[in-house]
Chain A
Amino acid sequence: MKPTVFIAAGTALLGAVVLHQGGYFSSPVTLPNAAQTGDTQSPQDGYSKPIAVAQNGKTDAAPDGERSPPAASSRKVDETALRYFASKGDTKRLNAEIARLKALYPDWTPPDNPLAVRQQGDPQLDQMWKLYSAGKLAELRKAIADRQTAEANWQPPADLLERLAVAEAREQLVNASNLKQYDAVIRVGSTNPSLLTCGDVDVLWRVAEAFANTKREDRAKDAYLYILNNCKKPEERYATVQKALPLLSRQNLDLLLATEQKTPDGKGEFAALRGDIARQSVANADADPKLSIPDIDIATVEGLAKEGGLASDDLLLGWYYVRRDKPQVAETWFRKARDKENTAKSSQGLALALINQNRPAEAEDILHQWRDTDDDTRKVYLAAVANLLAVTPPPPLTPDVLQRMVQEVYAAKDSASAQQLGWYADALNQPQTAAQWFKLALDWKPDDEPSAYGLALTRWKIGDKAGVKDIQTAWAGRSERIPTVGERSIETAALGKRKTGKAAPVDTSEEDAPVQRRPANQDEASQDEPSQAKASQDGTAAPRAGKAGRTRQVVRGCSTTIDPASLSPEAALSRGWCLMQVNRPVEAAAAFEVALRGSGKTRTDAAYGQSLAYLRAGLTDRAAVAASQAPLDSDRSIEIRTALLETQANTAFDQGRYTETILSLDERARIAPERTGLMVLRGYAYLKLRRFADAEQVFRAAAATGNHDALRGLNDVKAARQSNFQ
């Protein structure tokens, strides 16, 4: 227990303001006017009594309290404490006590020789004061009660009782505060207003903290402001701002800072805290990406980081930037921190910054050692893994790295990464492995459609028709594309009939997947006429994106040529579809362009229509642009993307860029099943790249469906191999 006699001494010495009973925490709990001390009224707090200087606050318990400087003559001043301190030679406390009594009783003069009256001293009372000074409050209670029992007429001095009550209240408050019992702190503080003085700044801090932690930030601010407006000790003022830092909003903090006084050397007393203030500000912004903070705070912390060399400052900035989509800047700061000390946090931040710059391999490498630190780190690590596996072309991964990634995916049961491992294996032509991964991903997240799609696809590739059926049954109605895995292409069948200049037979046993989408309404005419197919060596057309073939609609209303600009967007839209039907894609595109001026459905339909038109016309780049003009629903989006990728693959092949062909096909295969026709294209691309084994594998799989072009491809592989040896 702390020596408690300082309280009264401090009160007088510092000229502190002790607040009137009932003034400090009248209900509802308010604080006094936070202005300078004085006799001013503070009406805004509903606090009507003047604040008197250096006055002893009275607790409820003491019935003989006085409120204002009394008529001195009528009251005997209690000099027991005075004489006690004198007898102990405690000059400091003696002087403090004299000052206190003079403040209380202006007409009182101190005795010339306090020791002189020692004979009348009360040794028992002295003993009591001794207990009080030593902080033995419970024993003091006993001493008082025992004496009251023994001497019926003895009254303990009111002063002693008061101080005892206040000291006990302080003990209770501090204990409750240490246990974070904030309501108890506020209750004890409010029933003992004389605790709340500059002589007891620690109590005021605890009360402020209790307010802050019970959602009463304004009361906390008032408490801190009270200290700054009334208390003089520099170190206490400084500590007050320090303590307020993490608890108050920046706005309230600025109110505290406004009380800053100048030190003798002309600087502000809180100057050294500015750095911490800026740090706290950035820390708040780290926690809340929506929070905007003054630029000066960021600049301050950047300055501190550059000069001071604290990794924690680097981290503050790293998190700030990474949370605000500036991963490059963030990376610099995280690297600085990490160079100083490689920790989980700095690695996690750096990995995040790298992931957001599409550098997942580096992220994985950096974060791997820290992945087990906590859930957050693990999440980031797995994100790096998933992103790394999703890179196209499939990145070369050393066995070590792959091994450790696989281990982590297993341990964490992370569905997203498992799915990516599936695609990765698939891209490396290992459909069996891929299927296993897709299965795991689905086990871990049963409602994940992409994993289910991947599983269906790879099962189909390895010939597990029953397995494909299982998935399709389970996902009936929940996915557009899963039912189409392995399905005959109606469109291709229709294609075969209409192909111009090509005598390729239509193989009805072909297993082709049609385009996924079915027209949403009848206005969107079905397109059944492909233009020049950029096919591979066989005759199977790689049709442009279109819809599943339907009965041909009667062509109406667009056989003439008009300027679509004269039409309303809705009319232009209709005209566009009509023109697509009669295979005038360039004009259709122009009509859709006008329709794009419309809104809502008209606009989205126009974007879709225009991209189809450009695709038909062979203007792939424009098709991509058109598709981005308005948001497309996911089915259409898939349709367009698959069509674009298919076109890309074909174009690449025609131009002799075989690796690109493979890449485009790979990308397409992630969002739509690869029809046999495309598998044949792939096979020939492998063949051109002299990847005989891969070519053979693909042709073999395609040939299993009876596709003649695939069979031909197998022969071509054989021939190419033989020619190698000649």
Chain B
Amino acid sequence: MEQGVAASAVTPDEWALYKDKFLDPAGRIIDNANGGISHSEGQGYGLLLSYLAGNRGDFDRIWAFTRTEMMVRDDGLVAWKWDPAAKPHISDTNNASDGDLLIAYGLALAGEAWHRPDLTQSANGMAASLAAGSLETVGDLVLLKPGNSGFASGDRADGPVVNPSYWVFEALPVLAELAPAGPWNELADNGRALLVRAMKIGPSNLPPDWVSLKAEPAVADGFPQEFSYNALRIPLYLVRAGIHDRDLLAPFMSQMLDDQGRVRVVDIATGQTRQLLADSGYRIIPALVSCVLDGKPLAGDLQSFLPTDYYPSTLQLLALAYARRHHPECL
């Protein structure tokens, strides 16, 4: 667990570069590849990264924006999307549970490390709301709904639909300690079980972004039927959570890259490559897995941070922060 002072797991330079490109002074993280919108996922990552960079000022302002502009739902969770070009800026009040998890996680970490009972209290409230409205029991599994509305068994023809990459595994034990009444440990275990089953759907052994659990796990309707932008962060989450299970991680190590070290977007049904991603922020993920499992150090270009797009830049900093803290030999 990431506890205690972050001690610049993200360096000041890295943070300066990141926030220069992706943090608006008003406290919102800008998804530059997505129309410049902000979302609860970005706010969550922003809180986490600013915490890891030890920057309280930026943490506070990201939290301020999140609270005043996006935390406006009746249940206290965060509306998932804020659009500068729209009036009002929020057009869909549904939440995204991974964003809520990340935000609650960041608040819990900072609240403890910086002795900020207000942050801890807010984290607690979010945990309670998540437990009350964002979980669904399917068979004997407690699962995370991607959003409170629209994904459950009764909400769509192929429901329940889940997104395995929404399980922010490192956050769950933190929430378990913060709000022990919630089923966080069970959720973590079930998430792993789900992942194992999802990886068996197609020949590539990689999980799809979106999974329908109406019957046997299958790819959900209406989404690209791929291992893609969502699912590629799963191994990063597993590693950061200290889950270094070789059996679970091996397929990611072997299947995510092509022979030139680019990350593959994979068609689940056929196992074929649909797209190749060259950004350091993506390539660092299987590299990190290799390092953690087999001691292979990260290539030089993966270690230097130059912000590109919000998403891969975020992933790269999270990977570097982990290596810096727990596996300095990788760097």
Contact = CB atoms under 8 A, between A and B. Distances in A.
A176 B90 CA distance: 10
A411 interface: no
A145 B67 contact: no
B187 to A, nearest CB: 26
A141 B56 CA distance: 9
B56 A172 contact: no
B57 A138 contact: no
A176 B26 CA distance: 19
B100 to A, nearest CB: 15
Given A146-B57, A168-B67, A172-B71, A139 B26 contact: yes
B258 interface: no
B235 interface: no
Nearest to B93: A179
Interface stretch (A180-188, A377-385, A670-678, A695-703): A180-188
Interface string A112-143: 00000000000000000000000011110111
B64 A168 contact: yes
Contacts of B60: 138, 141-142, 144-145
A184 B26 CA distance: 22
Contacts of A91: none
A168 B68 contact: yes
A184 B76 contact: yes
Interface in A241-291: none
B57 A136 contact: no
A175 B74 contact: no
B191 interface: no
Contacts of A178: 88
Contacts of B25: 136, 138-139
Contact of B67 (A136, A144, A172): A172
Contact of B69 (A142, A175, A184): A175
Contacts of A172: 67-69, 71-72
A176 B67 CA distance: 11
A145 B68 contact: no
Contacts of B59: 145
B72 A175 contact: yes
A138 B27 contact: yes
B158 to A, nearest CB: 29
B90 A175 contact: yes
B56 A145 contact: yes
Contacts of A537: none
Contacts of B327: none
A149 interface: yes
Contacts, number: 76
B156 interface: no
A144 to B, nearest CB: 7
B73 interface: yes
B88 A141 contact: no
Contacts of A148: 56
A175 B88 contact: yes
Interface size class of B (residues with CB under 8 A): 20 to 34
A183 B65 CA distance: 20
A171 interface: yes
A158 interface: no
B214 interface: no
A172 B69 CA distance: 6
A61 to B, nearest CB: 6
A145 B116 CA distance: 12
Contacts of B79: 179
Given A145-B60, A175-B88, A178-B88, A138 B74 contact: no
A181 B72 contact: yes
A61 B63 CA distance: 16
A181 B64 contact: no
B329 interface: no
B58 interface: yes
A138 B88 contact: no
A397 to B, nearest CB: 48
Given A145-B56, A171-B68, A139 B73 contact: no
A149 B68 contact: no
Contacts of B56: 145-146, 148-149
Contacts of B64: 137-138, 141, 168
Contact of A145 (B57, B76, B88, B90): B57
Given A168-B67, A179-B88, A142 B72 contact: no
Given A136-B26, A175-B90, A141 B69 contact: no
Contacts of B93: 179, 181
A143 B57 contact: yes
B67 to A, nearest CB: 6
B118 interface: yes
A21 B9 CA distance: 42
Nearest to B88: A178
Nearest to A146: B57
A183 B93 CA distance: 14
A142 B61 CA distance: 5
Given A139-B26, A168-B64, 16 more contacts: A136-B25, A136-B26, A137-B64, A137-B68, A138-B26, A138-B65, A139-B25, A141-B60, A142-B60, A142-B61, A145-B56, A145-B59, A145-B60, A168-B67, A171-B69, A182-B74
5 contacts: A138-B60, A139-B26, A145-B59, A172-B71, A182-B74
Interface of A: 61, 136-139, 141-146, 148-149, 168, 171-172, 175-176, 178-179, 181-184, 187
